[in-house]
Amino acid sequence: MLIVGSGLAGLNAALLLAPTQRVAIITKRALFAGSSGWAQGGIAAVWRKDDSFEAHVDDTLVAGAGLCDLAATRLVVEQAPQAVAWLQKMGVPFSEEDGQLHLTREGGHSARRIVHVTDATGAAVQGTLIERVRETPNITIFENHTLVDLITDAKLGHPEKRCLGLYALDETTDEVLTFQAPHTILATGGAGKVYLYTTNPDTATGDGIAAAWRAGCRVQNMEFIQFHPTCLYHPHAKSFLISEAVRGEGGRLLLPDGTRFMPQHDARAELAPRDVVARAIDFEMKKGGLDCVYLDISHQPLSFLQEHFPNIYARCLELGIDIAKQPIPVVPAAHYTCGGVLTDLVGHTDVTGLYAIGETACTGLHGANRLASNSLVECMVFAQTTAQAITQAPITPAPVLPDWDDSQVTDADETVVISHNWDELRRFMWDYVGIVRTNKRLERAAHRIALLQDEIQEFYANFHVTRDLLELRNLVQVADLIVKSAQARHESRGLHFSRDYPELLPQAVSTVLTP
């Protein structure tokens, strides 16, 4: 059993499968390096008597702008409390108040239902599960191993559409190793690094999405890239997110002169869904020629801020920003990939033996815009359904897989090409395929992507693979899928806003691309 990725989805699946399967976790850096550990806000789950599953479902559907799959939404919402209880059993120290779980509220939610560990929920959950994984005897961990490609029957010249394993680059030895298994789970996260500004870690390069596409899997709704409205704007702060919960606890968005602007954009003001808030900030920044806007929570007592947002308070203070006395400079940044590899409710992709979960997958839960704090719970629920499907699946005989052949390639003589192409890609994706799009911008991006694909394929064919080359290859592939999906949508819906098609079409239809 192979699991690629060590975020919440991958670790959860590994722990659920370990009692009956030998599990290998393949992760390109350390176990803790993925996006899950960066999640600040929390986990959405109905917990109070004055809340309901129906209300959580409705909030998700509204945020998703008509494209959420109802079955997937109900499954996640109804299984969310059980998932939180499982994490409690694992030892996650959720924040409490008067002996009960403390619940906060975030944009788009009609009630307080966000279970959290102060403002560092992802780090606490990841730390707890990593300890569990390391002490589980049936799990073997391969850190610093980068996915090169999936191995399918088709690549071996057989007609079946089945995944047999994968090739991975071991960075400690610089060798490409062959891993074989009857089942492979892609849990590699999203593709935020395709953009110049992102809240994501450097590992978020769309590896699983690109590899699944090359293996013959359909992808869905890749045009819907969520831009988090409030990333800290500071020259010495890389990708530091100011949690949605700051606005949930009364934070107000201000222009540099102190004017509050969100009520002019949406009746829900700062508690509007992320796409609305991000577009409003983008509008105000372009209108005023601003480098950033400001998020003010200084009306809350110092003790409240230190209790509820200790990490945000400490990090801002390190940078000379006392959030108890002054507003926080913020800008939107690419945050979450709502689309991904098309799956069913048990993680199946179009390739037998290949599964996708977490941000890599498109289950239909998020539709055209993810509701805040629905991502971690999606990881857990689909890790569980996928693990159950795998334990019940038959194991069929597989052929012996060939070793990686690099006898015809040499070491690259100009690796600067990779860094230049990486920088070019991220800049034009930010400029042309960002929060507001036009046909002309998308055409320009498509043209540049085609040129980069040719260069990168030549590099890949002639030189030894490196992690930088593999990540760039995947990012360019994902960029191509994002642009093609955006060009196919002739309306503005959710996270996809087009000046050429500003209206909403009467029927909501998903964008599905086929290799």
* CATH number, residue 296: 3.90.700.10
HSE-CB of 334 using CA atoms within 13 angstroms? 29
User: How, if at all, do strands 163-170 and 114-115 pair?
Assistant: unpaired
What residues are paired with 330 via a beta bridge?
232, 293
The whole domain housing 255 covers 231-333
Q: What is the pLDDT of residue 482?
A: 98
Q: Report which of 385, 392, 391, 394 is spatially closest to residue 357, judged by C-alpha positions.
A: 385
Q: How far apart are CA 78 and CA 45, in angstroms?
A: 8
Is 373 inside any structural domain?
Answer: no
Q: What is the pLDDT of residue 153?
A: 92
Longest Cα–Cα distance in the chain:
69
Is 311 inside any structural domain?
Answer: yes
Q: What is the pLDDT of residue 160?
A: 82
Q: What is the pLDDT of residue 360?
A: 98
Q: What is the pLDDT of residue 467?
A: 95
Q: Alpha carbon 480 to chain centroid distance?
A: 18
Q: Report which of 500, 475, 482 is spatially closest to residue 490, judged by C-alpha positions.
A: 500
Q: Is 274 a catalytic residue?
A: yes
Q: How far apart are CA 247 and CA 36, in angstroms?
A: 21
- Domain termination site, one of 333, 348, 372: 333
Is 101 inside any structural domain?
Answer: no
Whether residue 235 is found in the same domain as residue 329: yes
What residues are paired with 354 via a beta bridge?
184
Q: How far apart are CA 384 and CA 86, in angstroms?
A: 11
- Domain termination site, one of 333, 368, 394: 333
Is 120 inside any structural domain?
Answer: no
Is 453 inside any structural domain?
Answer: yes
Provide the number of structural domains found in the chain: 2
Q: What is the pLDDT of residue 119?
A: 85
Sequence-ordered strand ranges (E) for 107-188: 114-115, 139-142, 145-152, 163-170, 175-180, 184-186
Q: Select which of 162, 252, 274, 279 is catalytic.
A: 274
- Domain termination site, one of 333, 353, 387: 333
Is 314 inside any structural domain?
Answer: yes
Q: What is the pLDDT of residue 194?
A: 97
pLDDT, one tens digit for every residue, the chain (515 residues): 999 999 999 999 999 999 999 999 999 999 988 888 877 789 999 999 999 999 999 999 999 999 999 999 999 999 999 999 999 999 999 999 999 999 999 888 999 999 999 988 999 999 999 999 999 999 999 999 999 999 999 888 888 899 999 999 999 999 999 999 999 999 999 999 999 889 899 999 999 999 999 999 999 999 999 998 999 999 888 778 898 889 999 999 999 999 999 999 999 999 988 888 999 998 999 899 999 999 999 999 999 999 999 999 999 999 999 999 999 999 999 999 999 999 999 999 999 999 999 999 999 999 999 998 999 999 999 999 999 999 999 888 888 999 999 988 888 777 788 889 999 999 999 889 999 999 999 999 999 999 999 999 999 999 999 999 999 999 999 999 999 999 999 999 999 999 999 999 999 999 999 99
> In the numeric block, which tokens belong to residue 144?
């610093």
Q: What is the pLDDT of residue 411?
A: 84
Determine contact, residues 248/269, Cβ cutoff 8 Å.
no
Is 507 inside any structural domain?
Answer: yes
Q: Report which of 404, 396, 470, 406 is spatially closest to residue 164, judged by C-alpha positions.
A: 396
Q: What is the CATH number of the domain that holds 429?
A: 1.20.58.100
Altogether, the residues listed in the chain come to a count of 515
- Single pTM value for the model: 0.92
Is 378 inside any structural domain?
Answer: no
Q: What is the pLDDT of residue 394?
A: 87
